[in-house]
Amino acid sequence: MSDYPPEISPSEGERLTEVIKDWSLANGLTVRPPPAIIAAEGDPAGILATPVPVTLFPSPFPRVCFNQATSVQKAYNELYASISQDEDFLAHVVKEIGDSDDFITELWKVHLRVKEEGYVQHKSLGLFRSDYMVHQDGTGSGPQIKQVEFNTIASSFGGLSFQTSLLHKYLSSTEYRLLENIIKKESLQLPENESAPGLARGIQHAFTAYGPSSTGHQKCVIFLVQGGERNIFDQRHLEYELQKSQEQSIPVFRLPFSEILQHTTLAEGPERQLLYRPPQLPSHTFEVAVVYFRSGYGPADYPDQSAWEARYHLERSAAIKCPTVLTQVAGTKKVQQVLATPETPSNPSILPRYISSDSASVSDLVNTFTNIYPLDETESGLKARKIAIDPELCKGYVLKPQREGGGNNIYRSSIPPFLKSIPESHWPSYILMELITPPPVKNTILRNGKLEHGGVICELGIYGTCIWDQQSKNILHNEQAGYLLRTKGDQSEEGGVAAGFGCMDSCNLV
């Protein structure tokens, strides 16, 4: 499909811009406007929304790679559920990076405090997202899917991705057939995408797994959010999907991370049920069944000791957490590196520790790994250090900290000067990852009402939902839950949509 997406005339671009803007606003494919568009004082009541940056056409994506990524997701869910139960391994990870990463150290202290008094909730909910890019080297071999990272906390864009797939399906039925270079609906292979309903089902299963209220209060779900959240509609779509449940009404409340201690308490007695009193409804008290973190993933959410006390308060409660501290630590880049560092006699794979070595899942997982190295003083780490400080060799790599969220990575020639700017004792808190080489793709991005034509790079995210019991080790629920496609101009290193780097997209399988 070298002629796809087609060239469009200026007037066709204007028409598609108008249709997409209105569809996006009508269907909640939106964010709160960034300060670059409207200053905060221009919208004091928070009533404005603006369309999310989006591609005019679903980007071509290799079917074999899409199928590979979706088929391995349940194995990834099981793997990370198992890692979350391996406290000894996670303690070793924290020790390796702890001296140079105060945030991970403080997180671990929360776990140790709760462990000392005893956990009252052994069930955990994971709403995961495994991110990939298509790798195609110059040897003429076929496209392969390679993992960029695995997200265990605040795996976002499920709501907006669901809407983006619907937008492109709408355009395939209406606008594309009117173009001079016509696109027939039957020529597009647009996969079903259940990202918003799928993630909501995961929360719903956890809500049920919590069991009946034992305090006499109605149960609820809390979305733990950041103040001034611009990506609010992505979160709202999951909330609205939960309300569609025919089986039971699930009250959902948004609670800023900074207000946890203000509006929640623990019930008296050994069960430590988490009770929530909505500030706008002071006569109501709810028993919290599930806490879904859309915040708490980085140091900015913990400006003082009271924020850490708030996290401890939640962790020791009976609510099912998404994620627990253990699951959040399992999502650090160091864990990804330990899994993916090439196997040697002195560095055997740890995968058999979590998944039966004769299982097909092991090879399926390994096939998605790209080479990742530590920057410690092991054999692999010393090799990686030589690469990272070499002005030529470093050009094939990206340096990543343990942080979630866009904008934290160091690319190519920026790596040596960056490492020289920090103490060498801090190097082990970073991982060095081989850059993935995606095939050339072109598309047009609509951003803030303006069209950007050119080469793009696509990143596929596959969602998974998983519930497991830390005590019995049983997996109670395990599903693949839809997908996300984020696209950025091929000159941009970062791909965060909310951070302003990338845009929403969907797949046209080829």
Nearest to 83 by CA among 289, 327, 410: 327
Query: Which residue among 78, 149, 287, 479 is the active-site one?
Result: 149
CA distances from 417 to 411, 420, 477 (A): 11, 5, 46
Residue type, 343: E
CA distance 187 to 459: 23
**229 a catalytic residue:** no
Burial label for 215, CB within 10 Å (0-12, 13-18, 19+), is middle
Helix H or strand E encompassing 398? strand 397-400
Quick check: is 450 catalytic?
A: no
Known catalytic membership, residue 95:
no
Question: Which position has the token pair 């209105």?
Answer: 22
Q: Is 400 a known active-site residue?
A: yes
Q: Is 333 a catalytic residue?
A: yes
What whole-number distance in Å separates Cα of residue 398 and Cα of residue 435? 6
Determine the distance from the C-alpha atom of residue 33 to the mean position of all C-alpha atoms in its chain, rounded to a whole number.
22
Contacts of 183-186 with CB under 8 Å at 24 or more apart are 183/4, 183/5, 183/6, 183/57
149 is catalytic: yes
Spatial neighbors of 357 by CB under 8 A, at least 6 apart, are 351
Catalytic residue list contains 404: yes
Q: Where are the alpha helices (DSSP H) in 188-341?
A: 195-209, 232-243, 260-263, 305-315, 325-330, 333-340
CA 18 to chain centre: 30
Catalytic-labelled residue, pool 32, 333, 334, 403: 333
DSSP codes, 167-195: HHHHHHHTTGGGSSS---GGG-------H
CA pair distance 321, 314, nearest whole angstrom: 8
Q: Identify whether the C-beta of residue 313 lies closer than 8 Å to the C-beta of residue 135.
A: no
**Per the residue annotation, which of 32, 272, 321, 400 is the catalytic one?**
400
CA angle 95, 400, 334 (to 5 degrees): 30
Out of 59, 151, 231, 317, which one is annotated catalytic?
Answer: 151
Q: Given 28, 405, 406, 496, which residue is catalytic?
A: 405
How many residues would you count in the chain? 510
What strands, in cross-sheet order, belong to the sheet with 410-411?
Answer: 372-374, 431-434, 397-400, 410-411
Name every residue whose Cβ is closer than 8 Å to that of residue 104 and which is 6 or more positions away in sequence.
94, 97, 98, 329, 332, 402
Whether 467 contacts 476, CB under 8 Å: yes
Q: How does strand 441-447 pair with strand 54-55?
A: antiparallel
Write down the H helix ranges in 59-157. Answer: 63-71, 73-84, 87-98, 102-117
Which of 321, 486, 506, 508 is catalytic? The answer is 486
- Active centre residues (catalytic): 129, 149, 151, 156, 333, 400, 404-405, 486
